[in-house]
Structure 1
Amino acid sequence: MSDSDFFSNWNYPTAMRVGAGRITELPQMCRELGMATPLLVTDPGLAALPMVQAIVEQCLVDGIPLAVFSEIKGNPTGENVQDGVGAFKAHGCDGVIAFGGGSALDAGKAIALMVGQTHPIWTFEDVGDNYLKVNTRGMAPVIAVPTTAGTGSEVGRSSVITDQDAKRKKVIFHPRMLPQIVLLDPELTLGLPAPITAATGMDALSHNLEAFCSSSFHPMAEGIALEAMRLIHIYLPRAVANGNDLEARMHMLAASSMGATAFQRGLGAMHALAHPLGAVYDKHHGLLNAILMPYVLVANRSAIEEPMRRLSSYLGLSETGFDGVLDWVLLLRREFGIPHTWAEIGIGEDAANEIAAMAIADPSALGNPLPLSAADYRGIFLNACRGKLG
């Protein structure tokens, strides 16, 4: 397939501009949304790269001056969002371009939400009808430009933000947090280091896998998740092996967006554990999900035999059923150098009770195909410490 085969406009779940080189259309997209002085929200690593400087210069030439805010952590915090709101107001901005991986996308969407609010950000945690407290007239428009293929935050209606005082990740939600325009340009992901490609790709897999295993009735999300995992099966190994494989990068961007669309059906124990682990240990979210994946699959086995049979058949795995999918996941982890235990990334057994209590309270736990107790979560955590499957 040629590069032009991927050049298209989609309108699900929002307006999406898809294709290599389409970053050049960014000024036009700003004008479509009435942005004259956007705030480009990115992470410190990207902000230092020539790519971002080139975008700033291109937009300036096209009459769209950008302010840049990059003071965000890998797991963005409430303080990061507050600082971003300050930058938005100091520069007289009228919109947000969220540019980067999941941290930049989540922070950018949260900043765009908070620029017109009088309540603290935690008021809008995804609990009950808190979203009704949002002053929607104060929200700024958002263009989302992912540079990794993992979180799918570009098509999400929420942001995961760390409350450092509570040592807890909180989901901030409002339906209008969904970006108005998403730009999927695979050229922006070329050369991403293999370990980050692998960890973010496994994050995309975790979203689709948990959505597919959820018992909620949502056939559209189920179908999207299934096809996304086929794309990941084919293209993630290629993207990790060759960071300049444009076709693989394009399909992984699609699979990532598909995962965040599919998990409207629900997530599960992987994310219920990964969220508190990220908040307490400040580790990469995708890596945490990748380590957890086989342990959670085994814990849920009695409830997911049938979906695993369908998945293994759809992927054309040599062994069908649950064992075939588990072997595939373990093979991917070995191929990508993903650690098998918490000890390999500096997490010990001492926090088992704390993490289990936080996991059972996490909103993602509601989507798990089996109801799990705090003792169950503690067991999964300890199995991941000890490398014990089954």
Structure 2
Amino acid sequence: MKHLNANWNYPTAIKVGPGRIQELPQYCRQLGMTRPLLITDPGLAGLPMVTAAVASCKQAGLHCDVFSNIKGNPTGANVVDGVKAYHASKHDGVIAFGGGSALDAAKAVALLVGQDRPLWDFEDIGDNYLRVNVAGMAPVVAVPTTAGTGSEVGRASVITDERDHVKRIIFHANMLPAVVILDAELSVGLPALLTAATGMDALSHNLEALCSPVFHPMAAGIAVEGIRLVQQYLPDAVADGHNLLARHHMLVASSMGATAFQKGLGAMHALAHPLGATYDAHHGMLNAILMPYVLRANHTAIDERLTTLSRYLNLRKCSFEGFLDWVLELRDSVGIPHTLAEIGIPDDRIEDIGHMAVADGASTTNPIPFTAAQYSEILSHALTGKL
């Protein structure tokens, strides 16, 4: 697998290849860290991959502690607790280690440790990013263990405001981790259903970025190839979690999706964000289930683009319907449910979620500017399975 190793410098320094987690201490030192705080989720905190990473840092003379008080949809309180842990042991940098939740929380902690304002003052609205004391931000090395969100190459964190039951985006350009380690060996133990849900999340990022009306050809090109990698490797990664080649390419596709969506996202995320905040459901699974219903609603605006994409993917039918058929077949083959009702989402707040979707930032780059009523209709279809 050595031929897979590479060093990329777009959009940040990315160290790609199986086994490269062994290089973690040297990158911490390069960034001036002597006392890194490794931030991860509770499910990973006691696993060998985390204990080994901490041990390698300590063997290299680094004082490394672990913080793992993070929910599946990280909250503002989780971030504040992380900041307290950072200051309590006088840490000087962050290792963001885990899935999208851990990475988002870790990046937000690294931002907040040097600020004298509350977290929500840095929400991605207007010029709030100018409030950030950049000198106070902590350096970050990001180590993703799932192939989904691509948060390791993102300049923002999605954090749940539990008081208002909404997800807020915390943004600053310097939130982009300075070094990323893409080591497929760390994702080998991920269960099949989580592999499927996170992989479909990576697909949703690439797909919504491609369909966004924003003009950004470089991002569009990345999105197209990211979609092809998902097509080729997600089924294999789900079928055989120890397939290192499939795991490797899915990690790459995930990073590509988050690089591409600087072009924008769309209605899948505009609905997934309030649904996740309201019902604490898995973000990737929500996007996976919502995908065909949103594609159908956007049909008139994305027909030509998806017809072209179908040719690149060499689908049986090179058309919008051919692409939609492929999405449905892919979802079925990797075990994604067909409706939101199957994962326990009720129909008690359809109108509320519709209004929340319009207010979500992702709605601004959907190919069609849906109304709250239209979002509610899409949600209703996703609950009942009507395509």
With the length of structure 1 as denominator, give the TM-score of the two structures: 0.99
Who is 1:48 aligned against? 46
Who is 1:231 aligned against? 229
**In structure 1, how many angstroms separate the alpha carbons of the residues matched to 2:201 and 2:264?**
15
**In structure 1, how many angstroms separate the alpha carbons of the residues matched to 2:330 and 2:256?**
20
Structure 1 position 142 matched with structure 2 position 140:
yes
Who is 1:107 aligned against? 105
Q: CA deviation at 1:300?
A: 0.1
Helix, strand or coil for the counterpart of 1:170? strand
Q: Deviations over 1:307-348 (max 9, x none)?
A: 101110000001111011101110111112211112111112
Q: CA deviation at 1:65?
A: 1.9
Who is 1:59 aligned against? 57
Helix, strand or coil for the counterpart of 2:348? helix
Q: CA deviation at 1:191?
A: 2.3
Q: Deviations over 1:171-194 (max 9, x none)?
A: 000000000000001111112110
Q: Which runs of 5+ in 2 are unaligned?
A: none
Q: Deviations over 1:263-290 (max 9, x none)?
A: 0001000000000000000000000000
**In structure 1, how many angstroms separate the alpha carbons of the residues matched to 2:34 and 2:108?**
20
Who is 1:377 aligned against? 375
Q: CA deviation at 1:379?
A: 0.3
Who is 1:212 aligned against? 210
Poorly superposed stretches of 4+, deviation over 3 Å: none
Helix, strand or coil for the counterpart of 2:364? helix
**In structure 1, how many angstroms separate the alpha carbons of the residues matched to 2:354 and 2:118?**
27
Structure 1 position 174 matched with structure 2 position 172:
yes
**In structure 2, how many angstroms separate the alpha carbons of the residues matched to 1:158 and 1:304?**
27
Helix, strand or coil for the counterpart of 1:263? helix
In structure 2, what residue type is equivalent to 1:211? A
Helix, strand or coil for the counterpart of 1:250? helix
In structure 2, what residue type is equivalent to 1:109? K
Count of matched residue positions in the alignment of Structure 1 and Structure 2 = 387
**In structure 2, how many angstroms separate the alpha carbons of the residues matched to 1:5 and 1:219?**
29
**Residue of 261, 264, 267 corresponding to 1:266:** 264
**In structure 2, how many angstroms separate the alpha carbons of the residues matched to 1:74 and 1:229?**
25
Helix, strand or coil for the counterpart of 1:370? coil
1:1-390 maps to which residues of 2 (within 5 A)?
A: 3-389=1-387
In structure 2, what residue type is equivalent to 1:89? H
Helix, strand or coil for the counterpart of 2:349? helix
With the length of structure 2 as denominator, give the TM-score of the two structures: 0.99
Helix, strand or coil for the counterpart of 1:205? helix
Q: Which runs of 5+ in 1 are unaligned?
A: none
